[in-house]
Amino acid sequence: MRRTLIALFATLAATPALAAPETVAMPAGPWEASFEGGICRMQRAFEAGGQPHLLILEQNAPGRAVGIALAGPSLAGLDEGAPLRVTLAASDDGFDKQARIEPNNRFGHVAVLNGVWLADGVDAEGSNRSRIDTGAAQFVERIAVSQGGRSVAFATGSLTDAAEALNGCTAQILRSWGLDPAQQYGLQQAAQPAEPAKLTKEMREAYPRGAARGLRSGPLEVVALVDEKGTATACKVVAVSPWSDLDAATCEALTKARYTPARDAEGRAVASFWTTRVNFFATEYEKETRRP
């Protein structure tokens, strides 16, 4: 009997598992714009298997990358500990992206992807980083995520209109910062830290002692406004962490740093901005070493 069981197990293990059929969510309404609270958002209702789903494209600062939220019961069972395979067209090989996956009272589950480029997830060299590439958005057919043989696809079709609306919104954000969108779109060189490694070290050292003792962690996104001399004139937290002291410490480090200024189409130094996303993660070791 034991040999029979072993043989049966070997036969079952050698048989490849059948992949689950792809779940396709179809549009159930038009794109809806929401530009409140300094957040540029386009959302659209979808439906799969008679159940409501939702897709959100979001930006809180000018840039080529968008945040994507996929919501619906079809996303149940996805593992946050493993990356999702993201594809933007049926023939697309896609790219791997870590997601935040959590339950949602209205839609069952939601998967959040930060910093997605609409051209196969790659920031092309020399591309403008102050707005979404609408040319790339035109060729998007869908936004699909897969993991372990499971796949959920939102049949978006072209994202040109949604991208243009988001670009119009972030242009208003640029104006509110005292920057000319047309000039920013024509930059031949973006603003960036003069010493990136030093800035990273200073942000790490700026982590507050009280935050370490409380093991405070969390992501935040910040923008440094940089003048034509490479000096940070202001810092704006465009995606706050759960802790105000982490936000303040990060901005302090950014405003003290030196930057290489942006250069316009003629090569002249001009005022611009630099955006970064920081993820503080405290450990017990950090807690012990940060004691007063």
Choose the weakest-confidence range: 48-52, 110-114, 118-122. 118-122
pLDDT at 149: 86
- What digits encode the pLDDT tens for the residues 160-175? 999 999 999 999 999 9
pLDDT at 20: 59
Across the strands, what pairs with 52?
47
Choose the weakest-confidence range: 19-23, 80-84, 179-183, 227-231. 19-23
- Whether residue 186 contacts residue 264, with contact meaning beta carbons closer than 8 Å, is answered with yes
- In this prediction, residue 5 has a pLDDT band, given cuts at 50, 70 and 90, of very low
pLDDT at 201: 85
Which H, E and C letters describe 215-277, residue by residue? CCCEEEEEEEEECCCCEEEEEEEEECCCCHHHHHHHHHHHHHCEEECEECCCCCEECEEEEEE
- In this prediction, residue 106 has a pLDDT band, given cuts at 50, 70 and 90, of very high
Across the strands, what pairs with 71?
54, 110
Distances (CA, A) of 165 to 41, 59, 64, 162: 9, 11, 13, 5
Examine the pLDDT at 125 and tell me if it is beyond 50. Answer: no
Examine the pLDDT at 1 and tell me if it is beyond 50. Answer: no
**For 114-138, what is the mean pLDDT?**
73
Distances (CA, A) of 190 to 104, 238, 260, 268: 38, 19, 8, 12
Percent of the chain with pLDDT over 90: 61
CATH of 187-289 given 3.30.2420.10, 3.40.50.2300, 3.40.190.290, 3.30.70.260: 3.30.2420.10
pLDDT at 36: 84
- What digits encode the pLDDT tens for the residues 40-66? 999 999 999 999 999 999 999 999 999
Q: How far, in Å, CA of 40 to CA of 57, rounded?
A: 8
pLDDT at 290: 41
Examine the pLDDT at 211 and tell me if it is beyond 70. Answer: no
Domain boundaries, the chain: 19-176, 187-289
CATH architecture of 19-176: Sandwich (2.60)
**For 62-90, what is the mean pLDDT?**
93
- What digits encode the pLDDT tens for the residues 227-256? 999 999 999 988 766 667 778 888 999 999
- Choose between 207 and 205: higher pLDDT: 205
Tell me the average pLDDT of the chain.
Answer: 83
pLDDT at 15: 40
pLDDT at 250: 85
**For 174-197, what is the mean pLDDT?**
95
**pTM for this predicted structure:** 0.81
Amino acid at 153: A
Across the strands, what pairs with 43?
32, 56
Examine the pLDDT at 185 and tell me if it is beyond 60. Answer: yes
**For 134-156, what is the mean pLDDT?**
94
